[in-house]
């Protein structure tokens, strides 16, 4: 009986894997462009979100500067690469696009390393406020550094090319029957593959020796130091990893936009990332991915179908705009998550008991993961 149950379980897993691979390969060929774009943007945001989840949920460090590190990655790639024909509105180094992308992620990590000297001396809300300063500094630099960023009008983004294959509409042209695979469809394959690899790597780190040391830091720095954990080392490591993931998400987001502007990398974006982590559960990497798809996708879906929803108005019409309505939903969900003490996806079931007559206590409060 046991071997039969195990065989059935393997069959189910193999069937699910085959279905996932088929969906990964075929969906960009049959879905409308809107849904392909939504998945690409959400997957890029998910990569950055799991980096923030690692910083907050694993090491217990609060950050409101995730949009800043995304901007570092996005603009570093735009500066280091080269737009064909000189179409960019800023200085270009002219590196091969793949090398420029890797260098942009490294630069974001180095900036995170520099800020880790500040995070090593602060904690909790004080660290959050200090990181908020990075967003303000970044907004000013992105606006005034015209030769690097293009100012308020932004700059074009180089097309990523790997081995002569470009992630653009026509470099080279790809046809599947009567369907042409456009650049956004090619980015579907790239972003989802990078998300899967990034998820696997971060999960291994979180469940390894470094992750256990950071969990000890999250619970109590004093106890962790007494147990022999190098506090400053692991706090800096967490910030570097988180910044690299934000930079990688910024590069992929820039590739999807093809033109980046400073206003996108604002405090609102940082708060959206914080909402992704809270909604998904601060101690769940998988939850951060789910939260990223919800927070990124919901405003786009509402905007796309605003004409079919009578309570929504088009932007600038004076009615309830889709983006504002989405913010209302996110706020309500965050409140519910905090009330239910939903520390991770598994904690949802425990948290729902709060609403039942027979209440049970839980010590997995999400905010307990932030180092005070």
Rounded Cα gap, residues 332 and 326, in angstroms: 10
Given a contact cutoff of 8 angstroms between Cβ atoms, the answer to whether 63 and 127 are in contact is yes
Sign of CA dihedral 53, 59, 61, 67: negative
Given a contact cutoff of 8 angstroms between Cβ atoms, the answer to whether 214 and 238 are in contact is yes
**Per mean pLDDT, which range of 169-173, 249-253, 280-284 is the poorest?**
169-173
Judged against a pLDDT cut of 70, whether residue 176 lies above it is answered with yes
DSSP 280-306: H-TT-HHHHHHHHHHHHHHHHHHHHTG
Q: What are the domain boundaries of the chain?
A: 27-369
**Per mean pLDDT, which range of 153-162, 185-194, 296-305, 343-352 is the poorest?**
343-352
| Lookup: tokens for 189 | 């394959």
Sign of CA dihedral 213, 214, 218, 221: positive
**Per mean pLDDT, which range of 38-42, 121-125, 153-157 is the poorest?**
121-125
Most confident of 228-237, 323-332, 343-352: 228-237
Judged against a pLDDT cut of 60, whether residue 272 lies above it is answered with yes
pLDDT at 359: 45
Q: How far is CA 53 from CA 148, 231, 370, in A?
A: 30, 19, 11
First to last CA, the chain: 51
Given a contact cutoff of 8 angstroms between Cβ atoms, the answer to whether 298 and 309 are in contact is no
pLDDT tens for 306-332 read 666 666 766 666 667 777 777 778 778
Most confident of 183-197, 272-286, 297-311, 341-355: 183-197
Judged against a pLDDT cut of 70, whether residue 301 lies above it is answered with yes
The model's confidence at residue 284, banded by pLDDT at 50, 70 and 90, is confident
């Amino acid at each position: 009986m046991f071997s039969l149950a195990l065989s059935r379980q393997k069959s189910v897993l193999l069937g699910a894997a085959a279905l996932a691979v088929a969906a990964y390969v075929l969906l960009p060929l049959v879905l409308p462009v809107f849904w392909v774009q939504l998945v690409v943007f959400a997957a890029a945001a998910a990569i950055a979100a799991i980096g923030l989840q690692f910083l907050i949920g694993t090491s217990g460090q609060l950050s409101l500067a995730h949009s800043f590190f995304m901007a570092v990655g996005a603009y570093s790639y735009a500066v280091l690469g080269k737009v064909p024909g000189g179409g960019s509105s800023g200085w270009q180094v002219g590196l091969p696009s793949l090398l420029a992308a890797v260098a942009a992620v490294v630069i974001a990590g180095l900036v995170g390393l520099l800020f880790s000297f500040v995070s090593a001396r602060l904690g909790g809300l004080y660290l959050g406020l200090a990181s908020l300063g990075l967003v303000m500094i970044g907004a000013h630099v992105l606006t005034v550094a015209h030769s690097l960023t293009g100012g308020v009008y932004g700059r074009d983004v180089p097309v990523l090319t790997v081995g002569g294959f470009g992630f653009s509409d026509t470099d080279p042209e790809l046809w599947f029957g009567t369907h042409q695979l456009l650049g956004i469809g090619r980015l579907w394959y790239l972003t989802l593959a990078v998300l899967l690899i990034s998820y696997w790597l971060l999960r291994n780190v979180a469940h390894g020796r470094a992750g256990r040391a950071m969990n000890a830091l999250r619970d109590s720095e004093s106890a962790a130091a007494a147990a022999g954990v190098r506090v400053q080392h692991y706090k800096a490591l967490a910030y570097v990893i988180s910044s690299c993931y934000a930079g990688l998400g910024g590069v992929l987001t820039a590739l999807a936009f093809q033109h980046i502007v400073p206003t996108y990398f604002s405090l609102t974006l940082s708060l959206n990332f914080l909402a992704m982590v809270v909604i998904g559960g601060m101690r769940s990497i998988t939850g951060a991915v789910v939260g990223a798809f919800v927070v990124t996708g919901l405003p786009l879906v509402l905007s796309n179908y605003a004409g079919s929803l009578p309570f929504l108005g088009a932007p600038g019409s004076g009615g309830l705009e889709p983006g504002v309505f989405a913010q209302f939903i996110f706020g309500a969900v965050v409140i519910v998550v905090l009330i239910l003490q939903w520390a991770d996806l598994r904690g949802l079931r425990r948290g729902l008991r709060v609403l039942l007559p027979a209440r049970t206590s839980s010590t997995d409060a999400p905010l307990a993961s932030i180092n005070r």
